[in-house]
Structures are given as structure tokens and as C-alpha cells.
Amino acid sequence: MLKKMNVKVVRNAIITLIFLFYYLLGYVLNIEMLKPITTQENGFTINFLGFILLFVTTGFAFYLFNILKVNKKTATSD
């Protein structure tokens, strides 16, 4: 139970870090495309390209995370 809880925490942390990375990068470089959500005076704007980029990067990060986890298990079993 505790191990599954830690995986969920790591997964949520990865998503949050990737979101913050894109948001800060878009803010520093002043590129609206990298910001998934942009606040304005009268509301907010959702950038679909930013969300697509966020989902692709998150999927790739989880893919790498699973590969590293599998490689770590096989390396310890040898």
C-alpha cells in the first residue's frame, strides 16, 4: 500500500514539475505557446498547443521513468 502511494506522489510531482517548467520557461522567454494557461485581466486563456506539449512531455517522462525502473529491477536480479 505504501509503495503504491509513493508512486502516486512521484507521478504527481513529475506532472507538477513539468507544468511549472513550461510555465516558467514561457514566462522568462515571453512565449505564450509554452504556457498551458494564461491569466488575463478579464479571465484566462487555455492554450491547446501548450497542453498537447505538456501531455507529450509527461508521457515521455513516464515512459523513461518506467524504463529506468525496469532496468533497475533487472540489474539487481543479476
CA distance 63 to 58: 9
Residue 6 has pLDDT above 80, yes or no: no
Residue 12 has pLDDT above 50, yes or no: yes
Whether the pTM exceeds 0.85: the reply is no
Per-residue confidence (pLDDT) for residue 44, from 0 to 100: 83
Show the cell assigned to 3.
509503495
Average pLDDT over residues 3-16: 76
CA distance 57 to 8: 18
Amino acid sitting at position 27: Y
SS3 47: coil
CA distance 20 to 11: 14
Q: What angle do CA 63, 69, 71 make, to 5 degrees?
A: 105
Task: Report pLDDT digits (tens) over 15-66.
Answer: 888 888 888 888 888 887 877 777 778 888 888 888 888 888 888 888 887 7
Residue 78 has pLDDT above 60, yes or no: no
Residue 57 CB-density burial (10 A; 0-12 exposed, 13-18 middle, 19+ buried): middle
Residue 1 has pLDDT above 50, yes or no: no
